[in-house]
Structure 1
Amino acid sequence: MMDAPPRSRDGARRVILITGLSGAGMTTALKSLEDLGHEAIDNLPLALMPPLVDQIEPHGRPLAITIDSRTRDFSADALVAHVKALQAREDIDARLLFVDCDPDVLQRRFTETRRRHPLAIDRPVSDGISREQQIVAPLRDQADLVIDTSILTIHELRRFLAAEFAEPGESGLFVFVTSFAFRRGLPREADLVFDVRFLDNPHWDPELRPLTGLDAAVQTVILQDPDFDGFLDRLTGLLGPLLPRYNREGKSYLTVAVGCSGGRHRSVFVAERLASWLSGLNYRVGLAHRDLPAAS
């Protein structure tokens, strides 16, 4: 889940302050921003932040900093005060990014990696998670951007950040199209969801069942459905006028999810066609098939 921040001020030096819950993906976020051209600094003591920001060159690389409960002098209230001070400056475009995650997912991640929670070295992981949630709650409330990574893959998190913090000249709406299986639940990050289970299902053909919507034989069957062309025309007719309005309102990232029963045939093909149509309109487009095996 992502809440949209305000737009960047022209000419201001960008500073992204990353905080959140341990295990939620702060390090991944920092590395992703580094890949996008930001100078990355991990676990910076709060006392060092003002002089560091003052040293940024006017036209130099943007800065990404993680400050969290591991930091020696960490204080949520102090960090909020620093953020507000930076945001009051005309020469700085400061944003607070909060990386969140469901406690049950965090518990599983720490268990699977056998890592200790930084706030529960000699206690159960659940105690550390609970304590940290309380400590950083003021930061979540003040954040310009909140990303919930509970069901996001690393690649999806990177796509979110790439869309939000694109370089100048690459601004505008980024549309991410994903196929999915209804039986595995709706994509949590979806803004718009379309159900294509009414189309003829290639799954019932034994020869087509092992194939996917990326295969020509499956595509032929779906294209022969008498309702397919009309549906696609109406779908693009709906999205066509909406996308410029989203863009005009400052929305930087839109996720369109297309679902069918198994997430393998119909939704995959429709998502492919939709992404192709969007690319033809010169939108920045991402495409993924959530429930399609990687080997397909």
Structure 2
Amino acid sequence: MKSNNQFVIITGMSGAGKTVAMQTFEDLGYFCVDNMPPSLLPRFKNLVQSERDLNRVALVMDLRSGAFYDDLIEMYADLKAKDEDNVEIIFLESSDTKLVSRYKESRRSHPLARDGRVIDGIQTERKLLADVKEAADLVIDTTNLSPKDLREELAHTFESENSTHPFHIEVMSFGFKYGAPLDADIIMDVRFLPNPYYDLEMRNKTGLDHDVYQFVIESNGAETFYQQFSQLIKTTLPAYEAEGKSSLTIAIGCTGGQHRSVAMTERLAKDLIDHYPVNVSHRDIERHKQ
């Protein structure tokens, strides 16, 4: 576990996983900057210290910036001397064979071998980075790590005791008449339930109103459906988290997104909130007023 006040520099071999590392730090709540030139480090650190909300920052530095790594080591040493406990360099390493394989799979050229062999660029980069690797606080060899494995290792090391849970759930209601949400991972249709719209006393209310909520929850077939649906969700959530997903969006839809879907979304969110961070939204709940 790390403190809440962290300044992390991510560097290492091209193709060793810096993009995955940066995405992981973003999920952990860090403010992330990609391709930061070492010459800007001192000024950026001073800027961060003046901003009360930027107490955890992760920077990716690599050959794309045209950086002189002697400058990186010198400036890192200076930062370390001024703030020893809260500045770290993570160096991502991998074998030549694995790096060549990754470049072949991506069909990209190595930044130090644009017109030559990938292996030549890798070996040149390894020599340039030798001193940086030596100065690093943490060296991670990703040769035998999947992206999921790397995310888990970084999350375990850098997630603070007070940080938010890296895996969170979005539960939303919507109306099919306005289109299904494009970003939903799971979509459930509850249009088979009796529709409060046809009760004049409830037509202009929503699933947030007690009488509408009770009408939906207590309607014929609702309880059986909900128990089976919620059990399916609760069973699969740990597997989604284990696969490395940072969030999961569950969308529940009815015709207009005003009554049935709202009530079911509220009930599911209340059941899940004791186990996961949950955000609730009702995309189309106000559409009936338009």
TM tier relative to shorter chain: 0.5 to 0.7
Task: Write the distance in 2 (CA, Å) between the matches of 1:17 and 1:115.
Answer: 24
CA RMSD of aligned residues (A): 2.3
SS in 1 for 2:86: strand
1:221 matched residue in structure 2: none
Per-residue CA deviation, residues 76-115 of structure 1 (Å, 9 max, x unaligned), is 2211111111111248610000000000000011111111
Return the letter of the residue paired with 2:87: A
Q: In the TM superposition, what are the counterparts of 1:70-85 in structure 2 within 5 Å?
A: 70-72=64-66, 74-85=67-78
Task: Write the distance in 2 (CA, Å) between the matches of 1:44 and 1:123.
Answer: 26
1:38 matched residue in structure 2: 30
- The answer on 1:102 being equivalent to 2:95 is yes
Return the letter of the residue paired with 2:56: P
Q: In the TM superposition, what are the counterparts of 1:271-290 in structure 2 within 5 Å?
A: none
Per-residue CA deviation, residues 24-71 of structure 1 (Å, 9 max, x unaligned), is 001110111111000110111112121111111245341100111121
Q: In the TM superposition, what are the counterparts of 1:231-242 in structure 2 within 5 Å?
A: none
Q: Residues 115, 138 of structure 1: CA spacing in aligned structure 2 closer, same or farther, 3 A cutoff?
A: same
Q: In the TM superposition, what are the counterparts of 1:144-163 in structure 2 within 5 Å?
A: 144-163=137-156
Q: In the TM superposition, what are the counterparts of 1:175-214 in structure 2 within 5 Å?
A: none
2:227 matched residue in structure 1: none
Gaps of 5+ in 2: 164-240, 244-290
Return the letter of the residue paired with 2:91: F
Q: Residues 168, 154 of structure 1: CA spacing in aligned structure 2 closer, same or farther, 3 A cutoff?
A: same
Task: Write the distance in 1 (CA, Å) between the matches of 2:154 and 2:108.
Answer: 26
Task: Write the distance in 2 (CA, Å) between the matches of 1:15 and 1:101.
Answer: 24
Name the count of aligned residue pairs. Answer: 165
Q: Residues 106, 142 of structure 1: CA spacing in aligned structure 2 closer, same or farther, 3 A cutoff?
A: same
Return the letter of the residue paired with 1:30: M
SS in 2 for 1:118: coil
SS in 2 for 1:151: coil
Task: Write the distance in 1 (CA, Å) between the matches of 2:125 and 2:155.
Answer: 28
Task: Write the distance in 2 (CA, Å) between the matches of 1:60 and 1:132.
Answer: 32
SS in 2 for 1:167: coil
Gaps of 5+ in 1: 1-6, 171-285, 289-296
SS in 1 for 2:76: helix
Task: Write the distance in 2 (CA, Å) between the matches of 1:48 and 1:287.
Answer: 37
1:65 matched residue in structure 2: 59
- The answer on 1:114 being equivalent to 2:112 is no
Identity %: 34
Task: Write the distance in 2 (CA, Å) between the matches of 1:42 and 1:156.
Answer: 22
CA contact (8 A) 2:89 2:138 kept: yes
Per-residue CA deviation, residues 199-244 of structure 1 (Å, 9 max, x unaligned), is xxxxxxxxxxxxxxxxxxxxxxxxxxxxxxxxxxxxxxxxxxxxxx
CA contact (8 A) 1:44 1:65 kept: yes
- The answer on 1:29 being equivalent to 2:8 is no
More helix by share: 2
Return the letter of the residue paired with 1:68: D
Task: Write the distance in 1 (CA, Å) between the matches of 2:30 and 2:121.
Answer: 31
CA contact (8 A) 1:37 1:61 kept: no
Return the letter of the residue paired with 1:49: L
CA contact (8 A) 2:11 2:60 kept: yes
Task: Write the distance in 1 (CA, Å) between the matches of 2:16 and 2:30.
Answer: 20
Task: Write the distance in 2 (CA, Å) between the matches of 1:136 and 1:51.
Answer: 24
2:124 matched residue in structure 1: 131
